[in-house]
Amino acid sequence: MSLRPRDPLSMHRRHLLAAVSGAVAMLPLPLPVTAAPAIDADADWTPPDTFLHDLPRQMQALGVPGIAIAVVEAGQLAWSHGAGVADPVRGTPVDDATLWEAASLSKPTFAYAVLQLVDRGALALDAPLVAYTRPDYLGDSPWLERITVRDVLRHSTGLPDWRKQPQREPLQPVVEPGTRIDYSGEAFVWLQLAVEAVTGESLDQTMRRLLFDPAGMRDSSYAWDAALAARSVRGQRAPDDAGEGAPRQGLRDAWAQALPVAEQWRKPLSQWRYDDARRALPLAQAGAAEGVVAWPSDILANAAASLRCSVQDYARFMALMVHADPAPWELRPATRTAMLTRQIDVPGRWPDKGLGWNLEATSRGPVFYHSGSNAGIFKTFALGDATRAGVRW
């Protein structure tokens, strides 16, 4: 479930940021359970009464079992609301502790941390990724040598989104880097391995040190454990899906294969790096359904897709994009401006690309946004007012 830029909730005022997360439903449900909205008494924004009144009906009509929404005003979390059920089978209600699959909203948070490393001199935006690491699954195209950190963040690597058979297919660009926009999760995974190489840490360790802890994002992780599993939403089949039983849960199913290995090794998945996942791959594949675990990244925290968090935590991240006086640990103002500035001017079907964000000029001013979809059953959307970040096009 996602809000569009012209929806009254997301664009009621130009200076709002909306972070939206939903588990797409799958079965006809009773009217959803609705928790009382959380409202900042100092904020002067409240949602239209008609929106909250009509939300249960819309969820019922669209087959959405659970949804969470948060709004940022003046750089602070101003309002959040959850409705429905986190687990449609058990009837577990959505509440403030519910964790949502951020899906591709994982990319902007990772991009923020990458740019923190750029600010600190650990990475260079225009350095080739092969200068930091060259994974063994790369092909032999000479174009690989030219793919830069900037190319990854603006989706101009020429790499595919995901290979159909990663265990067999080498990773190769299909066009010359920097000449076309090709949305690529694979590119983000390669950049993740470069970050591993320069930090000596797992993805989750780096994200916690650079972003989650200083931003107060205490309910955020790219990894998995039993506690996260208990709080995380489950998806069900869409109303027009005639299949039987619960659908595959994507990341949850893959993590279920890896968690026993992590427990046996006494090394949490949050501490795994790529070499750990590669070593664990045959153990995780044993007994797994076909296609659940195909390559090491399936059981590794994934910069492109595996963030799970509360909707309030994602709103806290969104607030960083508009802070008037950034704290010392935050991005430098010039770097944040670059994150929200068009990075490549090429024709095509894609929206303009910043560094980790999509950009669009609207009748109400420029916005930055991103959407996400995991396993076809988890949908997310985040939208921000770029003028509040000091960016005008």
Start-end of H helices in the chain: 8-11, 49-62, 106-119, 149-154, 185-199, 203-207, 213-215, 226-231, 251-265, 274-285, 311-320, 333-339
Average pLDDT over residues 302-322: 96
Rounded distance between C-alpha atoms, residue 387 and residue 39, angstroms? 24
Instruction: Please say if the pLDDT value at position 208 is more than 50.
Output: yes
Whether 284 contacts 294, CB under 8 Å:
no
Whether 53 contacts 79, CB under 8 Å:
no
For CA atoms 257, 258, 262, 265, the dihedral sign is: positive
Distances (CA, A) of 288 to 210, 264, 373: 35, 17, 23
Instruction: Please say if the pLDDT value at position 24 is more than 50.
Output: no
Whether 84 contacts 63, CB under 8 Å:
no
- DSSP annotation of 306 reads -
Q: Tell me the pLDDT band of 39, cut-offs 50, 70 and 90.
A: low
Angle at 52 between CA 48 and CA 53, to 5 degrees: 105
Q: Indicate the pairing of strand 16-23 with strand 378-385.
A: antiparallel
Rounded distance between C-alpha atoms, residue 46 and residue 58, angstroms? 19
Q: Tell me the pLDDT band of 38, cut-offs 50, 70 and 90.
A: low
Instruction: Please say if the pLDDT value at position 4 is more than 80.
Output: no
Average pLDDT over residues 244-258: 91
**E strand segments, 135-189:** none
Distances (CA, A) of 225 to 118, 270, 271, 308, 337: 30, 8, 11, 12, 36
The fraction of the chain above a pLDDT of 70, given in percent, is: 88
Out of 58-72, 76-90, 238-252, 280-294, pick the least confident.
238-252
For CA atoms 331, 336, 338, 340, the dihedral sign is: positive
For CA atoms 376, 373, 151, 223, the dihedral sign is: negative
Average pLDDT over residues 290-300: 94
Average pLDDT over residues 72-83: 90
The fraction of the chain above a pLDDT of 90, given in percent, is: 72
Rounded distance between C-alpha atoms, residue 5 and residue 11, angstroms? 6
Rounded distance between C-alpha atoms, residue 102 and residue 364, angstroms? 27
Give the Cβ contact number of residue 279 at 10 Å. Answer: 13
Rounded distance between C-alpha atoms, residue 177 and residue 75, angstroms? 36
Q: Match 């569009």 to its residue by tokens.
A: 4
In Å, the largest CA–CA distance within the chain is 58
Rounded distance between C-alpha atoms, residue 24 and residue 62, angstroms? 9
Position 164 scores a pLDDT of 92
pTM reported for the whole predicted model: 0.90
Instruction: Please say if the pLDDT value at position 293 is more than 90.
Output: yes
Tokens of 264: 């046996």
Average pLDDT over residues 366-374: 95
Tokens of 192: 């993740």
Instruction: Please say if the pLDDT value at position 260 is more than 70.
Output: yes
Position 254 scores a pLDDT of 96
Whether 366 contacts 393, CB under 8 Å:
yes
